[in-house]
Structure 1
Amino acid sequence: MTPAKGANDPACAAVTVRLPDAVDGQQRRWTDAQATAAWGDPSTVLLTCGVAEPGPSTLPCDTRAGVDWIIDDTDAPKYRFTTYGRTPALEVYLDYDAVSGSQVLTDIGTAVGQLPTTGAVCTERPAS
């Protein structure tokens, strides 16, 4: 994995030390890039902290465990979830054939909730 431009932000360290040992049944793996994490063998969930903060988007946005996420399914069944209204931003890239995005985001929610909020919130939610 490659660290994001903002990986050395202390808020990313606050997140990575709180990440769970497993998400949706996938065990955490060692990564050697700062402010990153991976779960599964082979990796089915990749996390990178310190990515660019997204601006307003037409992509769906959902809230899990108190964190707003922009959902990009362009590469389905691989999905990219990016925090919205958090600085620095954090991205999760996962394989929906192997894990549930909803469960993964719930499992990491407490850790990701450590990121400071900007005041921006999701206004659109995906259709149920």
Structure 2
Amino acid sequence: MEETDFDDVIRGNLKGTFMMCKQFLLSLEKFNTNCNDTRATEVNISSGTVIKCVAKVSDYIASKFGVVGITKTLAVEYGKHEVRCNAVLPGLTTTPLLTTFTRDFLQAIEEGIPMKRLAKADKIAKCILSWHSTRVRT
């Protein structure tokens, strides 16, 4: 792995998450000076690889562990202000990135999945929205 590749992954996954969280929290402060009673939810996307690591993607796994760390820290810092912070850890998901993997590799992954298929981004998003809507207090 080249250092520049490592930096690119950390910048995209970890710094990108940090910047998104920062803007989200700044917008809460803008509309509600003390963040109290916002009942907001902030959801970050990490990866199932933080539970079951795989070889040759240490840059990716390090970045996704960092996403979990940011999320847990924000939960501690903002929970008292009624802001929920959660991380979702999906498995391998059908995205354009998968074109870099061989079909044999993908089939081997699918065999280890109970439903024998990869996740889909839209299904993950619907699951998050469904979970959130059942927990919004009025």
User: Which is richer in helix?
Assistant: 2
**Rg (Cα) greater in structure:** 2
Smaller-chain TM-score range? under 0.3
Question: TM-score by structure 1 length?
Answer: 0.22
